[in-house]
Amino acid sequence: MRRSRIKKRLNELLLDYKLVEKDDIDKALNIQQQKGGQLAAILVEEKFVSEEDIAVCFCHYLSIPLINLEKFKAPEKLIKIIPEHVAQHYHLLAISHVGNILTVAMSDPLNVLAVDDIKALTGYDVNPAVCSLGTVGKAINRLYHPAGAEAQKAAASLDDLVKNIQDEDIEVVGQQDQVDIGDVIRSSEEAPIVKMIDALIAESLLKRASDIHIEPYEHNIRVRYRIDGALHEAAVLPKKIQNAIAARLKIMSNLDITQRLIPQDGRFKVKFEKKEVDFRVSVLPISFGEKVVMRALDKANLSIGLEALGFLPEALTNFNFAINRPYGMILVTGPTGSGKSTTLYSVLNRLNTPDKNLITIEDPVEYQVEGITQVQVKPDIGLTFSSGLRSILRQNPDVLMVGEIRDFETGDIAIKAALTGAMLLSTLHTNDAPGAVTRLIDMGIEPFLISSSVVAVVAQRLARKICDKCKEQYEVPQSVLDRLGLDKKSEDITVYKGKGCNYCSGSGYRGRFAMIEIMVVNDSIREMIMNRSSSDEIKRYAKKECNMVTLRDAGLINFLAGKTTLEEVLRVTSAE
């Protein structure tokens, strides 16, 4: 009841000042009832009233000052008196602290629930001031994360940089036309292009993007970021800067800028928030120019430990048992982008000790890690997985990682390496863990070699985590739980979904974790492999007799634990 009275006061206030019509208020309240959120934010989003008018209205009505947060600076100690999640939730910021009085800039100073919460959290009396809804969100991000302030400033300038590029700055050159390389190089080194590339990279890292896609079309260039596995459009750039952008990225990646008709791969490194981030760059000639995809490789992810990847307790115990074996083969399976490389590198990171010789052969080398010998496959000069493996075995490795087993020859050499005293790690593209066995047999590898060498197979998928800032409880229909085979009553479980907020860019999700299925090969499974049993038969046995948790089961466990949503589980896993 208390909250409804607050909203009634706000409604009356807006109507008294003739900022909105009664019909507009009714429409906004209807949207709020259906989707939730702040009434003021809904009114602004629907363009019934501006942020500035609401802020000025509050100032007149309450006789309190209006604070401009665009250039506001304050000590970190003051800002963090209020926890960030509270500031994000209520759209407010601590701006002054004198004695027992804490002055707080609020986008909704009539929200007494926010005032009460801050008093309870801090123990201070709250003196409200007014700020606009739009500026407080930017100020929170800037002041709670000062290390990213310069990057955020660069990202914010992207639109200005695009507008400032004049028609005469760079000449448009057709795909098949002759290009003056000197002109392209000079264009790529001009300040607007350099600043634009820096701004794109900074913005992508601030938004936690794993990839940047720069895609030329007939009349413009589209830029997209992949965030938590999904692509989002970030910008549309003018066509005239296409060649300069491609040239700038090639120079940064140490690629040949004169070659525009064949694919190229390179990499570069940037410093961001006191850490180094590698970017792997792929340039692909297409109909309207060259498409560039940059993948961010943050080595900090490799040191988080296997526990943080998503292993359930029993699965982690089984996996630790497998990687502590002195020899044998461990396979990680899943589609492209399912986190296989991160899992394998996390294992290598754990095994990377001075008394072990670790060697990898990859295409391409994902992460460059000190203490590990890493070999890049180069098929054009005859350095393939199979030929490279033969040479590596003469280097006496203790731990060997093969980027992917793609054919019989590579699989055969890898298995023989595992049988002769090395721990071998590799990946396969299969739907589940038992499917790796039949995939190897289909390649032509003898079952007795597989049963003797493979000690464990891991299958994994990446699922999005529910945003902690807008997490809300909801009820799943009993019929859905019954169809999924969950022996639970709808009223007895507590499940969540993300409503969507600024912190998660309205998606309801922020971050990802791995859902993992692990099959440890015991004597019975070895016998089934020898008898060429199907993957379905092996899977049924592993579930029933070995208590193997499948990908779908792992997803449902995380759903019931409130980590992800049911929709996300069904999206990334298939029915058993």
DSSP 24-53: HHHHHHHHHHHH---HHHHHHHTTSS-HHH
CB 250 within 8 A of CB 283: yes
Cα separation, 422 vs 314, in Å, equals: 26
pLDDT tens profile 115-134:
888 998 888 999 999 988 87
Residues 84-108, mean pLDDT to the nearest whole number: 88
- The residue ranking higher by pLDDT, 247 or 172, is 247
CB 431 within 8 A of CB 460: no
Confidence bin at 171 (pLDDT 50/70/90) = very low
pLDDT tens profile 456-493:
999 999 899 998 888 888 888 888 888 888 888 887 88
Give Cα 135 to chain centroid, integer Å: 26
Task: Quickly tell me which residue has 């990646």 as its tokens.
Answer: 253
Confidence bin at 68 (pLDDT 50/70/90) = confident
Query: Is-above-0.95 flag for pTM?
Result: no
pLDDT tens profile 254-263:
888 888 888 9
Confidence bin at 177 (pLDDT 50/70/90) = very low
What is the predicted pLDDT for the residue at 117?
86
Residues 359-379, mean pLDDT to the nearest whole number: 85
Confidence bin at 528 (pLDDT 50/70/90) = very high
- The CA-based diameter of the chain, rounded to the nearest angstrom, is 85
Cα separation, 353 vs 205, in Å, equals: 31
Residues 529-557, mean pLDDT to the nearest whole number: 91
Three-class HEC string of 220-246: EEEEEEEECCEEEEEEEEEHHHHHHHH
Residues 320-326, mean pLDDT to the nearest whole number: 87
- In sequence order, the β-bridge partners of residue 292 are 214, 283
Rounded to the nearest integer, the mean pLDDT of the chain is 82
What is the predicted pLDDT for the residue at 161?
62
Is 70 exceeded by the pLDDT of residue 531? yes
What is the predicted pLDDT for the residue at 433?
92
What is the predicted pLDDT for the residue at 169?
44
- In sequence order, the β-bridge partners of residue 495 are 474
